[in-house]
Structure 1
Amino acid sequence: NSTRTMESDLRPTLFDFHGVSMTKYFTENWENVQNFQARPDDILIATYPKAGTTWISYILDLLYFEQKSERETIVPIYERVPFLEISIPSQPKGKDLADKLTTSPRLIKTHFPVQFVPKSFWEQKSRMICVMRNAKDLAVSYFHFNRMNHVQPEAGDWSVSHGSPCTVVSTVVFGSWYDHVNGWWEKKSTYSNLLVLFYEDLVEDPGRELDKLCHFLGLSPSSEKKERILSSAHFDNMKQNKMANYSTLPVMDQKVSPFMRKGKVGDWKNHFTVAQSEVFDEDYERKMKNSSVKFRDEI
Structure 2
Amino acid sequence: MSGLEVVDAGGDVVQLVDVDGYRVCTFDREPEKEADIVREIKNFNCRHDDVFIIAPPKSGTHWVWEIISMLYEGRAETMQKSKSHQMLEHQTADILEGIKSPRILDSHLDIQHLPKQIFEQRLKIVHVLRNPKDLLVSYYNHVKGILCYGYNGKWENFFSLFLNDELDYGSWFQYVREWEKFIRENPSHPIHVMFYEDLQENSIGEIKRLATFLELEPSEELIHAISEKCKFGNMYKDKMYPDSVRREVYRGDFTMYRKGTVGDWKNWFTVTQNEVFDQHYKQKMAGSNLQFKYTLS
Scaled by the length of structure 1, what TM-score is found? 0.83
Q: Who is 1:202 aligned against? A: 199
Task: Tell me the CA shift for residue 186 of structure 1.
Answer: 1.7
Matched, 1:22 2:20: no
Q: Give CA deviations for 1:226-282 in whole Å, capped at 9, x if unaligned.
A: 1110011111100001xx345555553262432211011110000011111111111
Q: Who is 1:77 aligned against? A: 82
> Helix, strand or coil for the counterpart of 1:236?
helix
Task: Tell me the CA shift for residue 66 of structure 1.
Answer: 4.1
> Helix, strand or coil for the counterpart of 1:151?
helix
Q: Who is 1:4 aligned against? A: none
C-alpha spacing 1:172/1:76, structure 2 compared with 1 (3 Å): same
Letter matched to residue 195 of structure 1: H
Matched, 1:168 2:168: no
Structure 1: gaps of 5 or more residues? 1-10, 87-92
> Helix, strand or coil for the counterpart of 2:41?
helix
CA contact (8 A) 1:128 1:195 kept: yes
Task: Tell me the CA shift for residue 67 of structure 1.
Answer: 4.3
CA contact (8 A) 1:200 1:296 kept: yes
In structure 1, how many angstroms separate the alpha carbons of the residues matched to 2:272 and 2:113? Answer: 35
CA contact (8 A) 2:131 2:294 kept: yes
Task: Tell me the CA shift for residue 77 of structure 1.
Answer: 2.1
In structure 1, how many angstroms separate the alpha carbons of the residues matched to 2:248 and 2:57? Answer: 16
Task: Tell me the CA shift for residue 30 of structure 1.
Answer: 2.7
Matched, 1:132 2:129: yes
Structure 2: gaps of 5 or more residues? 1-13, 28-33
Q: Who is 1:123 aligned against? A: 120
CA contact (8 A) 2:16 2:23 kept: no
Q: Give CA deviations for 1:168-202 in whole Å, capped at 9, x if unaligned.
A: 25321111110111112222121521111111111
In structure 1, how many angstroms separate the alpha carbons of the residues matched to 2:220 and 2:94? Answer: 36
CA contact (8 A) 2:87 2:106 kept: yes
CA contact (8 A) 2:51 2:123 kept: yes
Q: Give CA deviations for 1:196-229 in whole Å, capped at 9, x if unaligned.
A: 1111111111111111111111112111101110
Matched, 1:39 2:34: no
Letter matched to residue 230 of structure 1: S
C-alpha spacing 1:220/1:155, structure 2 compared with 1 (3 Å): farther
In structure 2, how many angstroms separate the alpha carbons of the residues matched to 1:194 and 1:264? Answer: 26
CA contact (8 A) 2:134 2:264 kept: yes
> Helix, strand or coil for the counterpart of 2:169?
coil
What are the within-5 Å matches in structure 2 for residues 1-299 of structure 1? Answer: 12-13=15-16, 15=18, 17-18=20-21, 20-25=22-27, 26-67=34-75, 72=78, 75-78=80-83, 82-86=86-90, 93-102=91-100, 104-152=101-149, 154-159=151-156, 162=157, 165-168=159-162, 170-189=165-184, 190=186, 191-241=188-238, 244-246=239-241, 248=245, 251-253=248-250, 255-299=252-296
In structure 2, how many angstroms separate the alpha carbons of the residues matched to 1:113 and 1:31? Answer: 12
> Helix, strand or coil for the counterpart of 2:137?
helix
In structure 2, how many angstroms separate the alpha carbons of the residues matched to 1:155 and 1:145? Answer: 11
> Helix, strand or coil for the counterpart of 2:279?
helix
C-alpha spacing 1:251/1:44, structure 2 compared with 1 (3 Å): farther
Scaled by the length of structure 2, what TM-score is found? 0.84
CA contact (8 A) 1:149 1:251 kept: no
Number of residue pairs the alignment of both structures matches: 273
Q: Give CA deviations for 1:98-141 in whole Å, capped at 9, x if unaligned.
A: 21111x21110111112211101112221010100111000000
CA contact (8 A) 1:30 1:85 kept: yes
Instruction: Please provide the CA RMSD for this pair.
Output: 2.4
CA contact (8 A) 2:130 2:292 kept: yes
In structure 2, how many angstroms separate the alpha carbons of the residues matched to 1:298 and 1:150? Answer: 31
Alignment identity in percent? 31
In structure 2, how many angstroms separate the alpha carbons of the residues matched to 1:37 and 1:166? Answer: 38
Per mean C-alpha deviation after superposition, the further-off stretch among 268-277 and 165-174 is: 165-174
